[in-house]
């Protein structure tokens, strides 16, 4: 693979850990940001692949090309506050979901979670991605028998940042679909709520994704 990227992760739970492992296997230099020394989730994430390593979160994001934010939404601002200045100019991938009690939008749909992320890291180039499915599809995005891959919608205000994230989406086994500016993040968060309600409440199988088709046969 040409031009491997330096990638940091803040948050390595059910979403962050499989994505970090996939990107390490794709040849990128992936470092896990350790918010708390001795974190069990970090230990388990690093154990997935010997190519992964862990550092204190400030050291992990310093010099990174891309940082993934994959924490629970309610700790987003606390997680970003100590490193916001270090993220200036960086691509910041917002993998968080503002899900409130009763499976409603935690911000009452008045603004997106990505707007909160951008406010907490005002000089980062925020791209929403890896949010519309459950963690099961990050563990294994393959759907044998189909000639298309699952689509991963992304959005952001910086075209170069979106191009970088689209490349990483491809390396994680999805086809990226640029749906527009960061204002579209609110709609992607509602897609997440739809998926959660279908799978976690209606008890459909989690092996459920969407794809985007065009009549001219060109990938969307």
Please provide the average confidence, as pLDDT, over all residues in the chain: 95
| Predicted pLDDT at 220 | 65
Cβ contacts of 130 within 8 Å, gap of 6 or more: 15, 19, 68, 70, 93, 95, 138, 152, 169, 172
pTM for the structure as a whole: 0.96
- C-alpha distances (whole Å) from 105 to each of 108, 177, 189, 194 are 5, 23, 8, 11
Query: What is the pLDDT confidence band of residue 35, given thresholds at 50, 70 and 90?
Result: confident
In this prediction, what percent of the chain has a pLDDT beyond 70? 98
Residue 140 is predicted with a pLDDT of 95
Give the model's pLDDT for residue 219.
Answer: 67
Q: Is residue 178 part of a domain?
A: yes
How many CB atoms are located within 10 Å of the residue 175 CB?
A: 16
Contact 147, 111 (CB under 8 A): no
Any domain includes 218 = no
Q: Rounded to whole angstroms, how far apart are CA atoms 159 and 205?
A: 35
Distance CA 22, CA 155 (A): 21
pLDDT digits (tens, 9 = 90+) for 121-164: 999 999 999 999 999 999 999 999 898 999 999 999 999 999 99
Maximum distance among all Cα pairs of the chain, rounded to whole angstroms = 52
Residue 214 counted as domain residue: no
pLDDT, position 39? 86
Query: Which pLDDT value is given to residue 6?
Result: 98
Q: For residues 10 and 27, give the distance between their C-alpha atoms in angstroms, rounded to a whole number.
A: 19
pLDDT of 37 reads 79
Checking if the pLDDT of 120 tops 70, the result is yes
Q: State how beta strands 175-178 and 104-105 pair.
A: unpaired
Domain containing residue 133: 6-201
Rounded mean pLDDT, 75-102: 97
Q: How many domains does one find in the chain?
A: 1
Contacts for 215 with CB less than 8 Å, ≥ 6 apart: none
Could you tell me what percent of the chain has a pLDDT over 90? 88
Q: What pLDDT is stored for residue 216 in this prediction?
A: 84
**CATH label of the domain that carries residue 73:** 3.40.50.720
């Amino acid at each position: 693979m040409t031009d491997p990227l330096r990638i940091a992760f803040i948050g390595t739970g059910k979403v962050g850990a499989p994505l970090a492992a996939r990107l390490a296997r794709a040849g990128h230099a992936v470092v896990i940001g350790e918010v708390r020394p001795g974190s069990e989730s970090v230990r388990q994430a690093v154990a997935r692949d010997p190519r992964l390593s862990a550092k204190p979160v400030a050291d992990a994001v310093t010099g990174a090309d891309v940082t993934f934010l994959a924490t629970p939404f309610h700790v987003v601002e606390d997680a970003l506050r100590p490193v916001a200045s270090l993220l200036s100019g960086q691509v910041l991938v917002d993998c968080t979901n503002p899900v409130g009690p009763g499976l409603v939008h935690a911000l009452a749909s008045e603004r997106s979670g990505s707007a909160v992320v951008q406010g907490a890291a005002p000089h980062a180039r925020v791209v929403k991605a890896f949010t519309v499915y459950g963690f099961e599809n990050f563990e294994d995005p393959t759907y044998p028998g189909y000639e298309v891959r699952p689509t991963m919608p992304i959005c952001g205000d910086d075209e170069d940042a979106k191009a970088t994230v689209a490349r990483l989406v491809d390396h994680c086994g999805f086809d990226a679909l640029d749906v527009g500016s960061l204002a579209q993040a609110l709609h992607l968060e509602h897609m997440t709520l739809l998926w959660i309600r279908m799978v976690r409440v209606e008890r459909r199988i989690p092996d459920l994704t969407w794809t985007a088709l065009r009549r001219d046969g060109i990938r969307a």
